[in-house]
Homo-oligomer: A and B are copies of this chain.
Amino acid sequence: MTARPTLEKVAERAGVSRATVSRVVNGSAHVTPEIRAAVLRAVEELGYVPNLAARSLATRRADSVALVFSEPPTRVFSDDPMFPSLIRGVSRETEAADKHLVLMLAGSPRGQERVERYATAGHLDGVIVASMHGADPLPAVLARRGVPVVCSGRSLTAGARGAPPCVDVENVRGAERAVEHLVTAGRRRIATIAGPQDMVAGIDRLTGYRNVLRGSDRRSIVAVGDFTRESGIAAMRQLLRDDPGLDAVFAASDMMALGALQVLRQAGRRVPHDVAVVGFDDVPAASYAEPPLTTVRQPLHRMGRELARLVLTLASGQDPGAPVILPTELVVRDSA
């Protein structure tokens, strides 16, 4: 049962040498058609499947990449509805390249160390770090160890020489579009629920908001959240206290926007009549919120794909090229 046939067996059966079988199996060059056919037949008959560990040992490649979530796992995997799409995108590319995808949750220091060890152990051709936190030390640590690393979201320390390549979205532009939409609709007192200011996405989206307001004659009204729904609730309450007359809110994440929606409803404000709300991310729940949420879409799936592509090129020793910046898109629904 567990006695899988080896190259040796196949070679014997096909009446050739191990090396030849290896050539055929790896689809490589110059093998006479008849011999190739004989080998393939033997492979078929024996149900031969190469032992990956042995191959990996001999080639010093691993044929797999890791996707690590470098956040406290609770947060990432329950509250944040964006990761599934990202995973799917990554998975799609890795499968196309016939690589395997190892998932690692590295929220704790122990987790970090695990990732480090695993990568160092040569079981990984590359690592994708999906941590939105700019100050995360993991990418740098891995890079220093010689492991190909790419990041989702521009690192806070980007620009520094040797910073890992990354895939990011047009956060500033997206936020600008959202706020412009509000301005165009004639909203006068446009507040924002900003994201955490230690994350690039948080910073950039606030910048976008400020850019537009500066260009119009409106003043900014800011509360800061951490992208979660709970923080959105708290921030919205704060905003209502600070400026009861506000007529629009741009939330830097959909989850915060959803929280805001709830608070507004409880406060008796009609959305969008009294207060317009725009979110950011376009998570699935945005489309079936009440009212459906106008938001800025991030191409998560595509990000995942690019991330995978990037790490794969990097792993193959090629130049990853310039950072990939993906476009965002305003999706207008009913909330604004």
Interface residues, chain A, with chain B CB atoms under 8 Å away: 1-2, 4, 49-54, 56-57, 62, 64, 67, 73-74, 77-79, 81, 83-85, 87-88, 91-92, 95, 100-105, 111, 114, 117-118, 120-123, 146, 229, 258-259, 262, 265, 284-285, 288, 290
A19 to B49, CA, bound (A): 31
Complex contact A77–B88 (CB within 8 A):
yes
Number of this chain's copies in the assembly equals 2
| Residue from the list B78, B79, B91 in contact with A73, Cβ < 8 A | B91
Complex contact A111–B88 (CB within 8 A):
no
Complex contact B91–A121 (CB within 8 A):
no
Q: Which residues of B contact A122 (CB under 8 A)?
A: 4, 51-53
Q: Which residues of B contact A103 (CB under 8 A)?
A: 67, 87, 91, 101-103
| Residue from the list B49, B54, B79, B91 in contact with A57, Cβ < 8 A | B54
Complex contact B87–A121 (CB within 8 A):
no
Q: Is the interface of A mostly helix, strand, loop or mixed?
A: helix
Distance (whole angstroms) from the CB of A114 to the closest CB of chain B = 7
Complex contact A95–B123 (CB within 8 A):
no
Q: Which residues of B contact A77 (CB under 8 A)?
A: 84-85, 87-88
Q: Which residues of B contact A284 (CB under 8 A)?
A: 78-79, 81
Distance (whole angstroms) from the CB of A93 to the closest CB of chain B = 12
Complex contact B83–A51 (CB within 8 A):
no
Distance (whole angstroms) from the CB of A285 to the closest CB of chain B = 5
Distance (whole angstroms) from the CB of A262 to the closest CB of chain B = 6
Q: Which residues of B contact A50 (CB under 8 A)?
A: 121
Q: Which residues of B contact A52 (CB under 8 A)?
A: 118, 121-123
A88 to B76, CA, bound (A): 9
